[in-house]
Structure 1
Amino acid sequence: MTDVLDRVKRPLLYVLGPAFVVAGVLHFVVPELYVQIIPPIFPAPLFLVYLSGVAEIAVGIGLLIPRTQQLAAWSTVALLIAIFPANVYMATHGVVIDGMPGGGNPSELVRWGRLPLQGVLILWALWYTR
């Protein structure tokens, strides 16, 4: 099993890094979608969307550079923890996302599925910390 994991570790890095870059770019392309899932307790939601977009782009690129990979992996974990409240808010408050392609009401599966996905992404990022 370890041999299989060793063989897929590098190719999966080329999935994880670009996925974060794309997600980060989307924060600038359609920021209004992300603003809607920021819990109202947080100030300056648009600023937070842009900040998290920059962070996602940075960690995505950092994961692909051997010299920065370990730091970027730890930063990815921190970022995923930092954005978790938005996913909890979306799941627990029935947020309807105006302007979302395909309609603005994500299914319960999507709302709640994002929570364990964060854990999977954290474990995936942790894989590159060593």
Structure 2
Amino acid sequence: MARRVFRWLLAIFYLIAGVAHIRSPVGFLAITPDWVPFAEQVILVTGIAEIAGAVGLLIPPRVIPHVRYAAGIGLALYALCVYPANINHAINDIPIGGETANWYYHAPRLAFQPVFIWWALIVGGVINWPFRPDKS
């Protein structure tokens, strides 16, 4: 039951984030490191990937085998790959919408990124720790 609730929460989070990447890319572009090529296209693709991952998490294995598993791996890798943007945002104090965030925002955000990676892996059925194997 806990895994199901966590799966839905993460799917909703990534669905909202994906739509935000597509509808309002300016803030995401601001924090994207300069070394990322084709930043606008990358932001669009990341939004699509978030939405696809969210949908993939909600497809039961009995309907399409391995999609949830692949979505878990994909979202974990996604969370790992966007970590440099979060670091860039924090270290360079980049304003979004004219406002800068303080370390009360950045520190938990940076610390929570590994949790997002674990969360995607656990709800995708890639790993089980600390839960028992998923029966759904």
Structure 2-normalised TM-score?
Answer: 0.83
- The 8 Å contact of residues 91 and 111 in structure 1, kept in 2 or not, is answered as yes
Per-residue deviation, 1:112: 2.4
Give % identity: 30
| Runs of 5+ unmatched residues, structure 1 | 1-6
Per-residue deviation, 1:44: 1.7
- The 8 Å contact of residues 74 and 126 in structure 1, kept in 2 or not, is answered as yes
Q: Which has the higher contact order (CA 8 A, sep 6+)?
A: 2
AA matched with 1:9: R
Alignment of 1:38-77 (within 5 A): 38-67=32-61, 68-77=67-76
- Comparing both structures, which one devotes a greater share of its residues to helix? 1
Residues 1:83 and 2:82 aligned together: yes
Query: How many positions carry a matched residue from both structures?
Result: 120
Output one character per residue of 1:34-87: Cα deviation in whole Å (capped at 9) or x when no partner.
Answer: 100000111221111111101111101100112311110011111111111101
Distance 1:42 1:14 in 2: 31
AA matched with 1:81: L
Moved more, 52-61 or 111-120: 111-120
Structure 1-normalised TM-score?
Answer: 0.86
Distance 2:12 2:59 in 1: 12
Quote the residue 1:3 is aligned against: none
- The 8 Å contact of residues 18 and 61 in structure 1, kept in 2 or not, is answered as no
| Runs of 5+ unmatched residues, structure 2 | 62-66, 128-136
Superposition misfits of 4+ residues, deviation over 2 angstroms: none
